[in-house]
């Protein structure tokens, strides 16, 4: 277990080091910097082994982020983004008695707070003055705390999630005028490792890694940038530890980013 965590962390930090080295290399022919705010409709679901839904959380999550992009003379590109986010969503699920095994419907709130960092390498295989097509590959890490609030008949608890994943996708952009562009990005996320630390149990569970998808489409008018996006996360059931496990889980995020690009 420790070896797996060591390998993943070393790979992650090695990637960040390489990114920083390339990002500040003097051969970059163009670079952009963006700061943005985001709002999303967030949904989290968990499922029993028979496919029945155990719970659903839904609501608004808000955040801020920064991103940077470097374009080199050989059509190699490198991009990175970092975000922090948080919000409170509605919880619709069950409260279960560990002694009797009986469960009853319950509703409460769940607070989320977290961060995300991603970096991609790309190569513009098609590049003209008005259009480019760019396959890319990258790595990302997402951390979030899921704090389920207590009710009058059930005790809440805190989960601390972390996932490290690769990204494979395609970027494209079309220049309409000298100050107006439209662009799109889509691809798949391939998780490397995911863990969920449940403080009240003193356990770290390891949900299985499943492929998910992401996409965005947007427009840039002068310095103003507007993006509509979708991001998914999929986790299969974790191995059982001391009778406990993380059920199959899914997250879907739809939202809008509004930012300024310099």
Q: Three-state DSSP class for 236?
A: strand
Structural domains of the chain sorted by starting position, each given as residue range(s) with its CATH number in brackets: 2-261 (2.40.128.100)
Which of the four pLDDT bands, split at 50, 70 and 90, describes residue 101?
low
Return d(Cα 200, Cα 210) in angstroms, integer: 26
Give percent of the chain with pLDDT exceeding 70: 85
Mean pLDDT, range 108-128, rounded to an integer? 95
- What's the confidence (pLDDT) of residue 2? 45
Residue 222 has pLDDT above 90, yes or no: yes
The tokens for 68 are 């940077």
The yes-or-no verdict on residue 251 having pLDDT over 60 is: yes
pTM listed for this prediction: 0.87
Q: Kindly give, in sequence order, each residue whose CB lies less than 8 Å from that of residue 236, ignoring residues fewer than 6 positions away.
A: 207, 208, 209, 210, 248
Calculate mean pLDDT across residues 49-60.
95
Q: pLDDT band for position 6 (50/70/90)?
A: very low
Supply the pLDDT for residue 158: 96
Across 124-156, where does the E strand assignment appear?
Answer: 126-127, 131-148
CA distance 233 to 244: 22
What pLDDT is stored for residue 21 in this prediction? Answer: 52
Q: Could you tell me which residues are beta bridge partners of residue 88?
A: 111
Quote the pLDDT of residue 96: 67
Among 22-36, 37-51, 66-80, 223-237, name the one with the lowest average pLDDT.
Answer: 22-36
């Amino acid at each position: 277990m420790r070896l797996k965590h060591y390998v993943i962390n070393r790979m992650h930090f090695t990637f960040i080091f390489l990114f920083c080295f390339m990002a500040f290399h003097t051969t970059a022919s163009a670079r952009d910097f963006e700061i943005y705010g985001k709002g999303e409709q967030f949904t989290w679901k968990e499922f029993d082994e028979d496919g029945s839904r155990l719970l659903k959380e839904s609501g608004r999550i808000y955040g801020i982020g920064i991103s940077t992009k470097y374009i080199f003379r050989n059509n190699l590109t490198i991009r990175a983004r970092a975000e922090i986010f948080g919000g409170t969503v509605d919880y619709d699920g069950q409260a279960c008695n560990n002694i009797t095994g009986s469960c009853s419907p319950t509703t409460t709130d769940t607070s989320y707070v977290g961060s995300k960092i991603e970096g991609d390498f790309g190569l513009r295989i098609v590049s003209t003055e008005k259009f480019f097509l760019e396959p890319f590959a990258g790595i990302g890490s997402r951390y979030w705390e899921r704090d389920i609030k207590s009710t009058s008949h059930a005790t809440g608890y805190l989960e601390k999630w972390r996932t490290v994943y690769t990204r494979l996708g395609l970027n494209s952009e079309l220049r309409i005028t000298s100050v107006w562009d439209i662009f799109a990005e889509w691809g798949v996320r391939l998780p490397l490792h995911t863990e969920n630390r449940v403080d009240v149990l003193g356990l770290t569970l390891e949900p299985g890694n499943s492929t998910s998808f992401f996409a965005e489409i947007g427009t840039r008018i002068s310095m103003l940038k507007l993006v509509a996006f979708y991001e998914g996360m999929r986790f299969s059931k974790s191995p059982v530890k001391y009778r406990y496990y993380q059920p199959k889980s899914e997250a879907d995020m739809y939202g809008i980013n509004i930012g300024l690009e310099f």
